[in-house]
Amino acid sequence: MKPPVRWSEERSDGDARSGVMITPHGSVPTPNFMAVGTRGTVRTLDSEDLERLGANIVLANTYHLMLRPGADIVEDHGGLHGFMGWNGPILTDSGGYQVLSLEPDIAEDGLVFRSTYDGSRVDLTPERAVAVQEQLGSDIAMVLDVPVALPAPEQDVKAAMERTLRWAERAHAAKTRSDRALFGIVQGGTDAHLRRESARGTAMLGFPGYGIGGLAVGEGIGDRRRAIDACLPELPRSAIRYVMGLGDTEGMLDAISAGVDLFDCVLPTRLARHGKALTRGGDVSIKRAEWGNDRRPLASDCPCLACERHSRAYLRHLHRTKEILGQRLLTLHNLTYTYRLLADARAAIAEGAFDAWAEEVIARRQQGIDRTGD
């Protein structure tokens, strides 16, 4: 019997690689990006929007969905696919990162925290995190880990990494659905030795994919790259490599050059809600007064609805008047930009020209920041 989620490599260019991830709800070309639908929705968009944008996979959050509407309700509606009306692959985060902001009590058994919705006590163990995600019916579930806010004392990072390893073993044993996959998570902060130890220990459990957690939390790109470089040689080449929470252009391209396959981040959608558009010529703040009577689109080479039908002046007007349409149009634009970026990355790998292409992308954006940024 074939595993429910598996990855096959198609091309490589140096350490950068492209391939296909097979899931119960379809194939995902890699490298790829997952839009974040925390509560079962990507804000201001519906599933038909995501299909038109060319989204291959989306992410939802276990912590929020287990509290509202509750895993039982989602399960009764056919799991997240039926509940959201989304037929493509779904990955669910275990919720450990979100719980971290609630200052939970962390013990060997699991996490204890107060619900942000009604203040009730919630116990989240590695076993319950798996059980809830199996109820949600996501194609890929993540083990419960112990993130650490960086910078942190080395002993705290080490203790969290070691506990994450023990929890991964418990999660692996708790998995009951053979038609869904469970990914491990590598921790260890920016310490290369701890990262190697974590990756080696997690890989021994035999997951089909591995999240590289605890990054994209404010560390420098150099520290992040050293942490990624320490992990990847310890992980099976046939497994998916996923940097959790990373979604900026420069960060993703750097990680792809190291051999990473998958990303998620709220950045494209969050920036949209704050009036910033991602473009190949630099980020555009739609709040700027100079766009007040500008008839140009955000980007002349972008096929999204915002660029095909609307001017910068109109988008600025929507943002200033706090119209939901403005957030929706910028969200469509930023996700279009992000998906095109990853599609172009796959094409550059196939052509054996990834490094040169990535350098050109970054240089063009940097040149445009002074003209179009805040």
- Which residues does the annotation mark as catalytic? 93, 264
User: In the structure encoding, which two tokens stand for residue 99, read together?
Assistant: 């719980």
In sequence order, what are the beta bridge partners of 111? 106, 124
Burial 50-80 (b: 16+ CB within 10 A, else e): beebebbbbbbbbbbbbbeeebeebbeeebb
Q: Please, are residues 101 and 149 in contact by the beta-carbon 8 Å criterion?
A: no
Q: What is the DSSP string of 155-216?
A: HHHHHHHHHHHHHHHHHHHH---TTSEEEEEE--TT-HHHHHHHHHHHHTT--SEEEE-S-S
Q: If DSSP codes are grouped into helix, strand and coil, which group holds residue 241?
A: strand
Q: How many CA atoms lie within 13 A of 228 on its CB side?
A: 29
